Amino acid sequence: MYDQSVIVFERYLRRLSAMINRLEAFADIASRQEAILRTSLTPGMFPLVQQVRTAIGFSLRTCYPLAGLEIPETESREDTVVDLRRQIQEAEGYLQALPAHSFTQVAEREIVTTAGFKELRLDGQTFLTQYALPNFFFHLSMVYAILRHCGVPVGKGDFDGFHEYPSGFAF
């Protein structure tokens, strides 16, 4: 399950970083960046900065329990592009430190976590495929949607790293 978890999260944390780079290039002054970081799609929904942090958090909240290890403590210092980039790099370092052999026989291991205010007890396979990955991609998708909503020129290729379209292409 190492390849289905750690490798996937490493790839998509790099995609998240690329989208943050697009934000930084688009909003070249800190006040514009801060305004975008505070934007949400609707009242009561996490703003961009929290969507980014939640996606980052899911990478660690998934892989460390699957490896049978305690989730490392991370710290959010500022609501800035610079700090989000630092948090992504920190998470990437934590993921790179996980040995692949820790993920043997994890499919049946019970993982205890919370979903909002609900405690979940799931086997490793269900935890990864039906809870953790969908939640990570939900928050990553919200980052993409908020950036697009704010006019940041991100596209499907920025999200997945596979797609490529000519400049100015639109559906």
Contact partners, residue 106, CB within 8 Å, separation at least 6: 1, 66, 67, 68, 124
- The pLDDT value recorded for residue 87 is 97
In a domain, 137, yes or no: yes
In a domain, 72, yes or no: yes
DSSP-based three-state secondary structure for 117:
coil
Q: Dihedrals φ, ψ of 123, to 5°?
A: -70, 160
Residue 169 falls inside a structural domain: no
Tell me how far apart the 2 most distant CA atoms of the chain are, in Å.
49
Is there a contact between 65 and 57 (Cβ–Cβ < 8 Å)? no
Predicted local confidence at residue 76, as pLDDT? 79
Q: Is residue 10 included in any domain, yes or no?
A: yes
pLDDT of residue 140: 99
Instruction: Walk along the chain (171 residues) and give the pLDDT tens digit of each residue.
Output: 999 999 999 999 999 999 999 999 999 887 899 999 999 999 999 999 999 999 999 999 999 999 999 999 988 788 999 999 999 999 999 999 999 999 999 999 999 999 999 999 999 999 999 999 999 999 999 999 999 999 999 999 999 999 998 888 877
Ramachandran region of residue 114, left (φ > 0), alpha (ψ -120 to 50) or beta?
beta
Domain range for 31 is 2-160
For residue 127, being part of any structural domain is answered with yes
Q: Is residue 170 part of a domain?
A: no
- Is residue 66 situated within a structural domain? yes
The Cα 161–Cα 19 span in angstroms is 11
Instruction: Give pLDDT, residue 169.
Output: 81
Which token pair is 119? 């405690």
Number of domains in the chain: 1
Per-residue pLDDT at 103: 96
Element (H, E) at 113: strand 110-115
* Residue-level pLDDT at 75: 84
- Is residue 79, in this structure, part of any structural domain at all? yes
Identify the CA nearest to 87 among candidates 68, 73, 66.
Answer: 73
Task: Kindly write down the DSSP assignment for every residue of 2-55, as one continuous string.
Answer: HHHHHHHHHHHHHHHHHHHHHHHHHS-SHHHHHHHHT--SSTTS--HHHHHHHH
- CATH at residue 67: 1.20.120.450
